[in-house]
C-alpha cells in the first residue's frame, strides 16, 4: 500500500512533503515499479535517488536526473561521500554493483577530473591504480577491490551502469528545489 502511494505521489507532484513527515532529516524508502527500482535517502536537504535497475550510459543517466529536477550526484565533501558510500552497502545492481556519479574528465585534459557542477575533484577516492585512463566518466563501486568500499573507477561514458541522482529539498516545507 505504501509503495503504491509513493508511485502516485511521484506521478502527480514533485512534492515529497508527506515522505519527509515520517522523519524530517533522514529516511530511506524503496520505490518499485514495472521498469525501475529507486531507493531514496535524504541528508542535509539533499535527496539522493539510487537508480538500481535503470542500467544505461552516463549521458542517459544525467538526462534522467535532469528530468527529475536534479543532476548526477556530486560527492564533493567527505560527508556526502561517506553517506552515499554507506547507503550503497545496502543496495545492489546487475552492473557489477557500480553506479555512475557526476564526475567527468575533459576530452583534452584527461587529468582534469571535475564534478558536473564545475568544481574540481578535491577528495579523490579512487580505487588502487585508478584512474587508469580508460574512460572519461566515473563510477562509485559498492565494494571493489574486496574489502574496499565506495571507491571510484574511470571507465567509458558509454558503459552501461546504474546511477545516483541528487536534488535539493527543503526539509521544512518538503518541496523539491529544481536545480539549474
Ligand atoms: Ca579505469
**How much distance in Å is there from the Cα of 96 to the middle of ligand 1?**
14
Output the pLDDT for position 178.
Answer: 56
Confidence check: pLDDT of 73 > 60: yes
Phi/psi for 4 (5° steps) reads: -60, -40
**How much distance in Å is there from the Cα of 137 to the middle of ligand 1?**
9
Pick from 16-30, 82-96, 133-147: least confident: 16-30
Q: Residue 173 — left, alpha, or beta (φ > 0 → left; ψ -120 to 50 → alpha)? A: alpha
User: What DSSP state is assigned to residue 120?
Assistant: B
Which grid coordinates belong to 39? Answer: 531507493
Which grid coordinates belong to 16? Answer: 515529497
**How much distance in Å is there from the Cα of 152 to the middle of ligand 1?**
9
Let me know: does 103 contact 115? Beta carbons within 8 Å.
yes
**How much distance in Å is there from the Cα of 39 to the middle of ligand 1?**
26
Output the pLDDT for position 110.
Answer: 78
**How much distance in Å is there from the Cα of 56 to the middle of ligand 1?**
18
Confidence check: pLDDT of 47 > 70: yes
Domains in the chain, ordered, with CATH? 5-177 (3.10.100.10)
Which grid coordinates belong to 157? Answer: 561514458
**How much distance in Å is there from the Cα of 127 to the middle of ligand 1?**
9
pTM metric for this prediction: 0.80
* Continuous segment of H or E residues that includes residue 116: none
pLDDT band at 179 (very low <50, low <70, confident <90, very high): low
**How much distance in Å is there from the Cα of 18 to the middle of ligand 1?**
41
**How much distance in Å is there from the Cα of 138 to the middle of ligand 1?**
8
Pairing of strands 46-56, 161-169: antiparallel
CA distance 115 to 149: 20
**How much distance in Å is there from the Cα of 47 to the middle of ligand 1?**
28
**How much distance in Å is there from the Cα of 153 to the middle of ligand 1?**
5
**How much distance in Å is there from the Cα of 97 to the middle of ligand 1?**
15
Express each pLDDT in 107-124 by its tens digit: 777 789 999 999 999 999
pLDDT band at 104 (very low <50, low <70, confident <90, very high): very high
| Residue position matching grid coordinates 550510459 | 57
If one counts every other C-beta atom within 10 angstroms of the C-beta of residue 64, the result is 18
Mean pLDDT of the chain: 82
From 97, 121, 94, select the one nearest 110 (Cα to Cα).
121
Amino acid at each position: 500500500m505504501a509503495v503504491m502511494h509513493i508511485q502516485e505521489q511521484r506521478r502527480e507532484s514533485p512534492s515529497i512533503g508527506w515522505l519527509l513527515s515520517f522523519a524530517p532529516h533522514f529516511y530511506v524508502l524503496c520505490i518499485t515499479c514495472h521498469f525501475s527500482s529507486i531507493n531514496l535517502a535524504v541528508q542535509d536537504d539533499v535527496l539522493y535517488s539510487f537508480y538500481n535497475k535503470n542500467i544505461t550510459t552516463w549521458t542517459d543517466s544525467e538526462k534522467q536526473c535532469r528530468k527529475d529536477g536534479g543532476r548526477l550526484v556530486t560527492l564533493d565533501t567527505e560527508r556526502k561521500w561517506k553517506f552515499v558510500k554507506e547507503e550503497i552497502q545496502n543496495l545492489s545492481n546487475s552492473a557489477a554493483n557500480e553506479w555512475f556519479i557526476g564526475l567527468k574528465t575533459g576530452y583534452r585534459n584527461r587529468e582534469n577530473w571535475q564534478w558536473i557542477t564545475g568544481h574540481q575533484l578535491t577528495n579523490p577516492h579512487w580505487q588502487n591504480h585508478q584512474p587508469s585512463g580508460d574512460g572519461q566518466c566515473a563510477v562509485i563501486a559498492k565494494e571493489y577491490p574486496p574489502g574496499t568500499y565506495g571507491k571510484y573507477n574511470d571507465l567509458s561514458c558509454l558503459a552501461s551502469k546504474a546511477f545516483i541522482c541528487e536534488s535539493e529539498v527543503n526539509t521544512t516545507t518538503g518541496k523539491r528545489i529544481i536545480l539549474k
